[in-house]
Structure 1
Amino acid sequence: MFDIGWSELAVIAVVALIVIGPRDLPRVLYTAGKMAGKARAMLREVQQSIEDIGREAELEDMRKKIESVRDVDLHKQIRNSIDPKGEIEAAFDTDVERRPAAAPADTQTSASAVEPPEPAEAPQSDDPPPVRP
Structure 2
Amino acid sequence: MFDIAPSEFLLVAIVALLVIGPKDLPKALRVLGYWVGRARGVARQFRSGFDSMVREAELAEMEKKWADENARILAEHPDTPATDEMPAVPPPDAATPADDLSTEAVMVEKPVVEAAPVVTPDATPLPADTKASS
TM-score with structure 1 setting the length: 0.52
Structure 2 unaligned residues grouped into runs of 5+: 79-83, 85-134
- What letter corresponds to residue 12 of structure 1 in structure 2? V
Structure 1 unaligned residues grouped into runs of 5+: 80-92, 94-133
Work out the percentage of aligned pairs sharing the same amino acid.
42
- Secondary structure, in 3 states, of the residue corresponding to 1:3? coil
For 1:8, the equivalent position in structure 2 comes to 8
- What letter corresponds to residue 12 of structure 2 in structure 1? I
Matches within 5 A, 1:1-133: 1-72=1-72, 74=74, 77-78=76-77
Runs of 4+ in 1 over 4 A off after TM superposition: none
Distance 1:68 1:3 in 2: 49
- Residues 8 and 72 (structure 1), Cα distance of their counterparts in 2 relative to 1, 3 Å cut: closer
- Residues 21 and 68 (structure 1), Cα distance of their counterparts in 2 relative to 1, 3 Å cut: same
Distance 1:30 1:78 in 2: 70
Aligned pair count reads: 79
Structure 1 position 13, deviation (Å): 1.0
For 1:125, the equivalent position in structure 2 comes to none
Structure 1 position 78, deviation (Å): 4.2
Distance 1:66 1:3 in 2: 46
Distance 2:17 2:77 in 1: 82
The structure that is helix-richer by fraction is 1
TM-score with structure 2 setting the length: 0.51
Distance 1:5 1:51 in 2: 32
Distance 1:50 1:57 in 2: 11
Structure 1 position 18, deviation (Å): 1.2
For 2:110, the equivalent position in structure 1 comes to none
Give deviations 1:74-102, integer Å, cap 9, x for gaps.
3x5247xxxxxxxxxxxxx9xxxxxxxxx
- Secondary structure, in 3 states, of the residue corresponding to 2:3? coil
